[in-house]
Structure 1
Amino acid sequence: MAIREFSPEGRPRAKIAFVGEVPSKEDLDKFRDRSFQCEPSTPAKLGDPAYAAQLDAVIWTQDGNKINALPRQLGSFVPCLLDYDVRVYIRLAADKHQTDAPRKLVVNALLESKIPVANLRSDEWQTIPKSDRERERGFLLPCVYLFDTASSWVDIAALVCDRPASSSPKTALVFDEKVLLDRFGSDGHSERLILLKRAFWNCSELRLTLLDGGMSGAPVFKAYASAEAGLVQPGSTGPYPHLFFVKIGPRKKIIDEYDKYCGHIFEYVPFHLGPRLRRDRCNLGSTLGILVGDFVDGSESLIACARGGRCGHAIANLFDKTLGGWRKQDYIDEKRTLSAFFEDKWQVEGQSQLIELPTGRIPLVQKLGADTSIEALKEIFVDLGNTAPKVAPAHGDMHATNVLIRHGDAILIDFEKLEQHYPLTYDPASLEGGLLVEGFIEDLKKGKLALTELVQLIEPLYEESALKRGQTTFCRPGDPAEWFYNAVNQIRTLSWSAEQQPGQYALTLALCLVRKGCNPHVDLDANEPNMSRAIAFFFGQKLLRAMAKTTAATAGKHKHQSGDAGQ
């Protein structure tokens, strides 16, 4: 079992409030024997944030004579309690008519208010939209936990006391709220403040800086946290701050990424090649969550490393060492084809609608002589991708800014889109596409390269012949794209073994390029010229059409030879 600390100072918060029924003295002793204070309370008191910050848990008993009263109050009081890490336990009333009416009223009220709830029955769980489901049999606190009418106070005391709340929020924590307001706006602002004060409960000051890159909807901040007086001896300039990364986003997204860290990162990614979560600082609220980890300091982006001509060793390290624990477990999936794995990549994320080129990029793509029909490209991909792929765990979002380089080591960050079983060709293809759309941004912005000039420079890399297994494509030494050729050749050299059938990497790369060309994120217009993504789309569709033409010609040749043989 994990090491747990037993301190003579007791629990961080050791007060339990009882709303409705208060147990007998004998039953209260079950809590007091575990060093918890117990006191009766009211919904009005629970609405006071200062009071909530001192509570460990609330045990709320439904009144059998007024079964509608509790459900009506849940939406008003429970979210604030959860934001303060107060665990809410509900004792359901017994119905005089032996029906499930009391339970149904409570469950429906919780689900309608989108309050996280645990200990649901299977049929109740199925009513939750898949996008909101956390864990069916396990649960992450804080949440609302339902006790059936048959649950004894002995069982309740054991469960409640074994799951104490974290330390109270650091209400005096000093930081600039404007950084959060500028990024998120005012909606949900109070919950974000509490999450930060809970995460940095033992700190006096926090300095936040929003990091560039990332389009997942859960922004990442660099955080300098100064420990409060007494933890360390401050120097002449005050407490020396520790550097963290902080990610704040929707509760479900944070839970999913947390589970991926615990299930796939800690066990398989070497400790120095991935960010280390500080699990004691990761927290959940009623609708949001926060991840905190040690910041990867003293590193540079893969783009900076590649443009400096230093990426060969780093890319080898990325696939052989950082991802080695995943990629060396690959196997052939005979049940799903390559195109079946990537079916949702042709759709807008979370929707059934096909991706499409943003309006501003269409003229640029047409200027390059490319067709903009997504349906036609998808048909080609589905037809050519009808082969069994090699699969293994995959990062799932390996754009160039998610790979940091430090002393030649490749360090991966942002595991939100990690896939447990995914084609082995996806991560390297995604990385190559990321280098294309992100690596030439400054050249295009400053006019060092024009649209058609860049296309001509790198077009040899996207001829169908250049993507045959074992092929290496060179450019003239000193060309502005020489760094890109070096990086791409290294990625492809390490990727040929990921193919189960020839052409699978080229197909995956074409899909990644088309998707990057269709990315409609609002920040792209401000941060990137549309040209780089138009070029990505152009090469993606060019590859697909070239491969379709070759396949058709090969099939026709075989048919002709079969006809000759029969004469």
Structure 2
Amino acid sequence: MKPLQRPSLLWFGRAPRKEYASEIAGRDMNLQIVTSQQPQTRYARAAVFWAADTEFDATLDVLERHLVACINEGLLVYVVVSDDVAQVTHVRQAIDALVPRHASERNVIVRSDTVSSHELANEALLHDPGPVLNEALTFEGDISNLTPQRKLLLQRAFSDSSILKLTPIKAGFSGASTFIVHATINASPPLPEPMPFFVKLGDSAKLLDELTRFRRHAEHYITWNLRPNFLMEKSIYGVSEGVLIGTFVEGSKSLAECARAGGGEKYIAALFDETLTGWRKRADSHRGSNSVVAALAAYDRHASIPSQRVQQARLLFGGEVWAPTTLWRRLISAPRQSWLECVMHGDMHGDNVRVRKDDAIVIDFAQADKGPACADAASLEVWLAFQSDGLDLKQWQSWVEHLYRSDIIDSMLDGTTVDQGCWIHGCLRKIRLIGRSCVLGHDEYKRVLAVFLLRHASFEASPSDAEADEFRRCFAYWLVNRLVMSFATEAKNPQVETA
């Protein structure tokens, strides 16, 4: 039997009775009774806080001091109290006050003092605390934003390595930090450098939710070589922050790069016809009461659109410009229509698709869920349409203004279009043909398109291109006004607010 990597069991509070010590030793674990010294969590797998009877007050104080550190180090925390409703209730309240529910559900067990020695020892043995902290790990590359807590996560995740070379990947809006990581493995004789890793550091609850969504929606519906493959043994979830690790698509480029170079249509076709075919072929008419716009309420950000952006849209481009609330009300009050539903990625954009050879590989499933079948197409087209890198801004405005006329959208959905000689036009032509196959009518796609235009107008301008990006986002807001006006005449007229 392979020795346990982390064999210690820390014990706080009333000393264990003989049968408990015997069961723990019988499972090749080292019992360490902690009195006043700082507990050594590095090689521990579990911590027992025996807070029954007269030990309740003092042991609970100790629990409150060490609970967060124990969970961050991966330990199972076993709290034992008297069979008393008041004590159990108070302990659970104390735990909830210190750590979020996702952390306590995964790492904390509360039992009465009638718990058997067999159960306690077995729970500790079966718990996987994760790898041992590697304090000798050397970091290289851009680590300026690597906090001590995130370094600790990486020291645990890469306990088998001596050097980590980190290259940041362009950050999204989730607040997570993402890196391509090259690791040098500790081995004698030395081993070749493994394939690079994809590392995402951020809010622990969000990373757990992303993994759950991936397993529910992608793991069995997208071919393994066209999606990430997460390494569960390296992924760690602390109280507030965690690290999600997978294999990186080496030798790939982003779809955004390929699109700007003029080759995006090929990969867009591969994305929807091959990579996402497991979702799309299961599309079916929505059976609930939600409209196609209401189904995207979780993605709505109209309340985050800056008032100055609304004013600038009116000043720069003229015409009638409504307040964001009015736009959203008009969208959700449009006449109900049947629409197609399937799993959607939820954050489909040019940097979340990697291309290699003829493959389109999707990453980042943090927002995957059931929704409109055309949502990913609409999301991707809006993101690509508002990338003007290498284009004259006025020429870009002219192209995009034409592409977002309601009649032009209709004609492109029908496959009728005149090539403008711009890479954006080529990509949108391909996307809209795909979008047409995911809807029951033209208005369905245009309504979803309006939601993603409104969403695009809500985010801050990119710091690397602030002036031009602010112009583009103002234009997106103006365009969504025009689009909503074009098909909102059939809707009830909600009260129009003054912008």
TM-score w.r.t. the length of structure 2 is 0.91
8 A contact 2:202–2:243 mirrored in 1: yes
Moved more, 28-37 or 193-202: 28-37
Take 2:16 and 2:491, find their aligned partners in 1: how far apart are those partners? Answer: 78
Give the equivalent residue in structure 1 for 2:114: 150
- Picking from 278, 290, 294, the partner of 1:340 is 294
The one-letter amino acid paired with 1:405 is V
Give the equivalent residue in structure 2 for 1:52: 41
Equivalence map 1:109-120=2 (5 Å): 109-113=94-98, 115-116=99-100
8 A contact 2:450–2:483 mirrored in 1: yes
Deviations 1:19-72 (A, max 9, x none): 1233333332222222112231135332xxxx2101111111104124333333
- 1:503 is paired with a residue of what secondary structure? helix
- Picking from 24, 31, 41, the partner of 1:31 is 24
The one-letter amino acid paired with 1:359 is Q
The one-letter amino acid paired with 1:547 is F
Give the equivalent residue in structure 2 for 1:263: 216
Give the equivalent residue in structure 1 for 2:125: 161
- 2:287 is paired with a residue of what secondary structure? coil
Does residue 175 in structure 1 map to residue 139 in structure 2?
yes
Deviations 1:507-559 (A, max 9, x none): 1111101110121367476596212222222222211111124x479xxxxxx
- Picking from 466, 469, 481, the partner of 1:529 is 469
Equivalence map 1:464-479=2 (5 Å): 464-468=406-410, 469-477=413-421
- 2:201 is paired with a residue of what secondary structure? strand
Per-residue deviation, 1:85: 1.4
Give the equivalent residue in structure 2 for 1:88: 77
The one-letter amino acid paired with 2:210 is E
The one-letter amino acid paired with 2:414 is G
Higher relative contact order, chain-length normalized (CA < 8 Å, sep 6+)? 2
Per-residue deviation, 1:365: 5.0
The one-letter amino acid paired with 1:233 is P
Moved more, 502-511 or 363-372: 363-372
- 2:60 is paired with a residue of what secondary structure? helix
Q: Structure 1 residues 455, 385: closer, same or farther in 2, change over 3 A?
A: farther
The one-letter amino acid paired with 1:299 is S
- 1:490 is paired with a residue of what secondary structure? helix
Deviations 1:84-103 (A, max 9, x none): 212211112234xxxx1211
Take 1:472 and 1:217, find their aligned partners in 2: how far apart are those partners? Answer: 41
Q: Structure 1 residues 359, 44: closer, same or farther in 2, change over 3 A?
A: farther
Per-residue deviation, 1:407: 0.9
Give the equivalent residue in structure 2 for 1:212: 170
Deviations 1:232-264 (A, max 9, x none): 635xxxx53541111011110011011122222
- Picking from 16, 41, 46, the partner of 2:34 is 41
The one-letter amino acid paired with 2:417 is T
- 2:232 is paired with a residue of what secondary structure? coil
Give the equivalent residue in structure 2 for 1:103: 88
- Picking from 204, 215, 231, the partner of 1:251 is 204
- 1:264 is paired with a residue of what secondary structure? helix
Moved more, 103-112 or 514-523: 514-523
Take 1:441 and 1:302, find their aligned partners in 2: how far apart are those partners? Answer: 14
- Picking from 426, 435, 452, the partner of 1:512 is 452
Moved more, 536-545 or 425-434: 536-545
Give the equivalent residue in structure 2 for 1:556: none
Give the equivalent residue in structure 2 for 1:233: 190
- 1:393 is paired with a residue of what secondary structure? strand
Take 1:454 and 1:376, find their aligned partners in 2: how far apart are those partners? Answer: 28
8 A contact 1:381–1:507 mirrored in 2: yes
- Picking from 477, 480, 488, the partner of 1:540 is 480
Take 2:464 and 2:331, find their aligned partners in 1: how far apart are those partners? Answer: 27
Per-residue deviation, 1:196: 0.4
Q: Which structure 1 segments of 5+ residues have no match? A: 1-7, 117-132, 349-353, 554-567
Q: Which structure 2 segments of 5+ residues have no match? A: 493-499
- 2:134 is paired with a residue of what secondary structure? coil
Take 1:45 and 1:76, find their aligned partners in 2: how far apart are those partners? Answer: 10
Take 2:247 and 2:468, find their aligned partners in 1: how far apart are those partners? Answer: 29
- Picking from 314, 318, 341, the partner of 1:369 is 318
Q: How many residues align?
A: 488
RMSD: 2.4
- 1:134 is paired with a residue of what secondary structure? helix
- 1:183 is paired with a residue of what secondary structure? coil
8 A contact 2:71–2:103 mirrored in 1: no
Give the equivalent residue in structure 2 for 1:328: 281
Does residue 69 in structure 1 map to residue 58 in structure 2?
yes
8 A contact 1:211–1:220 mirrored in 2: yes
> Runs (4+) of structure 1 moved beyond 4 Å?
521-528
- Picking from 188, 191, 197, the partner of 2:149 is 191
Equivalence map 1:274-423=2 (5 Å): 274-335=227-288, 336-347=290-301, 354-357=303-306, 359=308, 362-364=311-313, 366-369=315-318, 371-384=321-334, 386-419=336-369, 421-423=370-372
- 1:400 is paired with a residue of what secondary structure? coil
The one-letter amino acid paired with 2:151 is L
8 A contact 2:204–2:239 mirrored in 1: yes
Give the equivalent residue in structure 2 for 1:495: 435
Per-residue deviation, 1:135: 9.0
Take 1:415 and 1:523, find their aligned partners in 2: how far apart are those partners? Answer: 25
% same residue = 26
Take 2:139 and 2:393, find their aligned partners in 1: how far apart are those partners? Answer: 42
8 A contact 1:441–1:529 mirrored in 2: no
Per-residue deviation, 1:442: 4.2
Deviations 1:359-413 (A, max 9, x none): 3574255311251411221122112262232111111001211111111211111
Take 1:150 and 1:329, find their aligned partners in 2: how far apart are those partners? Answer: 51
- Picking from 134, 149, 167, the partner of 2:102 is 134
8 A contact 2:312–2:474 mirrored in 1: no
Per-residue deviation, 1:149: 3.6
